Structure 1
Amino acid sequence: MKIVLLPGDGIGPEVTQQARLCLELLSDRCGLNFVFEERSIGGIAIDRHGKPLPQATIGACVEADAILLGAVGGPAWDSAKLRPEMGLLELRAVLGLYANLRPARVIKGLEHLSPLRPEIAEGADVLVVRELTGGSYFGEKKLSDCVASDLCTYTRAEVERVAHVAFKAARGRSKRVTSVDKANVLATSKLWRRTVEDVARGYPDVALDHMYVDSAAMALVMHPRRFDVLLTENMFGDILSDEMSVIAGSIGLLASASIGDGGPGVFEPIHGSAPDIAGKDLANPCGAIASAAMLLEDGLGLTGEAAILRAALDDALRGTVLTADLGGDASCSAMGAEIRRLLDARLAARDAHVDLMSSNRGF
């Protein structure tokens, strides 16, 4: 299985390296035979190749089984004609990635990391399903000295396909979907709501409710356990998923998956490139490692290996080797090494259990 690595800019290379080392450990111990190929994207690609998404990167990604991305962007390219973020948007278009999955949960025993009171944060577990290729991010843009506009457009087909992703995901969780819109004001939201209701009829086992985006933002910090799957358009999802990340304790903890129909997905932490700490070995690698776990499960179908990696990550977060954003003083590489130590221990325990079961069958 071929995994393409796109480290990108800022802290992207540092956190991606820690995730790669976890995947290499799993590959070696579980006989997965992963093949890694590294390519450029974002600002570093502009510097090296003159464009944020070189053709060689596109070719490698199209042929990949899954893609692990670090982060793109930074002030070094603020005045550039081509923005680093354009590379990521183009990659999503090339691969047909229209749904972004962002899970956020408060890990039992780590409620103190959340800015919310423990009794509010406890048990929060939300999956944001964000539409990724429509809305004002991709609409026609006009800019003059006095007037600017960003056209927000959605088609029924675009809403239907991402709604199916949300309802299918809910079937594997608590079977509840909250569709977020602004249907009291926006025409696109009126179409969104009607279309989601039509799709919901095909999932009678999943409960659906609607909520305006401003009410949803408030409810997330007051009653986060109220939500299971949040389904939302592009911009609303971008904002709400970042809000949810803080509830979990740190934006450095959260992973995401961008998926389409059948091709390789892109898996990445939701944090940015953090240029102020880039190259200092201070970044939190947990979001990238959690993204590697999503890559294993959602990208490659390796649910068992993904569960072991997530369990090792949870073990580490309950320990004392933590980065500064989690209240510790560990470096990025030290936190990664601790996660791999715990991963190795879990793999050893699993192997010992398998050996014991085989021995018992011998009698």
Structure 2
Amino acid sequence: MKKHQIVLLPGDGIGPEITAVAKSLLTKVSQKHQFELEFNEQPIGGSAIELTGTPLPESTLSACKKSQAVLLAAIGSPKYDDYPREKRPETGLLALRSGLDLFANVRPIKIWSSLIEASSLRKEVVTGVDLIVVRELTGGIYFGKPKGRIKTEKDERAFNTMSYSAYEIDRIAEVAFDLAKARTGKVCSVDKANVLEVSQLWRERIDILADKNRQLEINHLYVDNAAMQLIKDPRQFDVILTGNLFGDILSDEAAMITGSIGMLPSASIGKKGPGLYEPVHGSAPDIAGLDKANPIAMVLSAAMMLRIGLKEEKAADDLENAVNDVLDAGLRTADLMSSSFTEVGCIEMGNELLKCI
């Protein structure tokens, strides 16, 4: 029997609740499809700070490096807002991505037919939306140097540097192109080449790579136009390729097309080694422990882990089909609730998903 080693990172807030749901579902589908999952639970974020004084203990990073995949729930709490940057929970996540050399964030944006009415956009605009945002994760303005804050004689200045090398652009483009080849073959590269030199290099590299991938339909949009087009006509997109800052913003904008950020999974991957799979929502400390969390994004992240990281596609199909079945049955957590549906908590949603497998 095949065995896969999985590191679970429950983290903070609602993290432990949604992790429990995902773990129970993963256990069931692994038994059904005759493979074994060996879980190793490790601390990260605020929970790690409480235990060790650091948001990413070396033992956690070491365990992740030895695994085949990492499933993260959520990190963060207002409790740590006044901590120095290097001691805050979010720093643990950045260090984990860096430590695993995860440079590509893949975020699918898909409309579930039973949730069309939950979208902020009109039904005729969102019906059939099925796109992927591919965001470069380890470069750009979040990591560029120099950066900092300095005092002047009369004022204070803060500065950051947006920087990309040709190599960084090429490798994230390869991820987007490979995804597009398995879909409709359309890639939209998003930049700000009309004003930014870094974007000019980005666009030049994409054009060079496009010449080597003529089976793909590759076009460019400035980021402000792309933001507008995502709301105006999201169905025009299949794979959106962009840098760290623009991808951060556009992927959250695209998330709201679906009606709830609590529905969306993501994967962060590199050229080798384990990938990191996580829901895109936060830790929601205001509802932690109240059985109000929506576990679906975590379950769909587990499905991405099965499909991309472990190559267990039938098991991944089971999780995604279970989500579709409970939604079609009219079951909703509080974030998705409206009249005519049945509200359930995190635990009950998990139990209903289990029944569908």
- Alpha-carbon distance between aligned partners in 1 of 2:255 and 2:351, rounded to the nearest angstrom: 24
Matches of 1:36 and 1:109, distance apart in 2 = 33
2-structure distance, mates of 1:267, 1:164: 20
- Tell me how large the CA RMSD over aligned residues is: 1.0
- 2:148 corresponds to 1:142: yes
Where in structure 2 are the equivalents of 1:115-126 lying within 5 Å? 115-126=120-131
Cα distance in 1 for residues equivalent to 2:111 and 2:118: 9
Post-superposition Cα deviations, 1:291-325, rounded to whole Å, max 9, x if no partner, equal 00000000101111111211111111222221011
Alpha-carbon distance between aligned partners in 1 of 2:115 and 2:83, rounded to the nearest angstrom: 42
State the percentage of identical aligned residues.
49
On the 8 A contact 1:258/1:267 being kept in 2, the answer is yes
Q: Counterpart amino acid of 1:49?
A: T
Aligned residue in 2 for 1:358 = none
State the partner residue of 1:111: 116
The question of whether the paired residues in 2 share the 8 Å contact of 1:167 and 1:200 is answered with no
Kept in 2, the 8 Å contact 1:12–1:71? The answer is: yes
Structure 2 counterpart SS, 1:183 = coil
Q: How far 1:158 sits from its partner (Å)?
A: 0.3
* Alignment partner, residue 304 of structure 1: 314
Alignment partner of 1:51: what SS?
coil
1:282 to 287, 292, 295: 292
1:22 Cα deviation from its structure 2 partner: 0.8
1:110 Cα deviation (Å)? 2.7
Which residue is equivalent to 2:351?
337
Give the TM-score of the pair, scaled to structure 1.
Answer: 0.93
Aligned counterpart for 1:128 among listed residues 124, 129, 133: 133
User: After superposition, where does 1:320-335 map in structure 2 within 5 Å?
Assistant: 320-327=330-337, 328-335=342-349
**SS of corresponding position for 1:96:** coil
Contact 2:114-2:327 within 8 A present in 1 as well: no
Q: Is the 8 A contact 2:30 2:315 kept in 1?
A: no
Aligned with 2:128: secondary structure?
coil
Tell whether the 8 Å contact from 1:5 to 1:39 is kept in structure 2 after alignment. yes
What is the aligned residue count?
343
Which blocks of at least 5 consecutive residues in structure 1 are unaligned? Answer: 344-363
Rounded to whole Å, the distance in 2 between the matches of 1:272 and 1:230 is: 23
Q: Which residue in 1 is equivalent to 2:6?
A: 3
Q: Distance in 2 between matches of 1:193 and 1:336?
A: 44
Counterpart residue type for residue 178 of structure 2: K
- How far residue 278 of structure 1 moved from its aligned partner, in angstroms, is 1.1
Distance (whole Å) between structure 2 residues aligned to residue 137 and residue 170 of structure 1: 27
Note the C-alpha offset of 1:50.
1.0
Using the alignment, how far apart are the partners of 1:197 and 1:18 within structure 2?
A: 44
Q: 1:102 aligns with which of 95, 101, 107?
A: 107
- What TM-score, normalized by structure 2, do the two folds share? 0.94
Contact 2:68 2:309 in 1 (8 A): yes
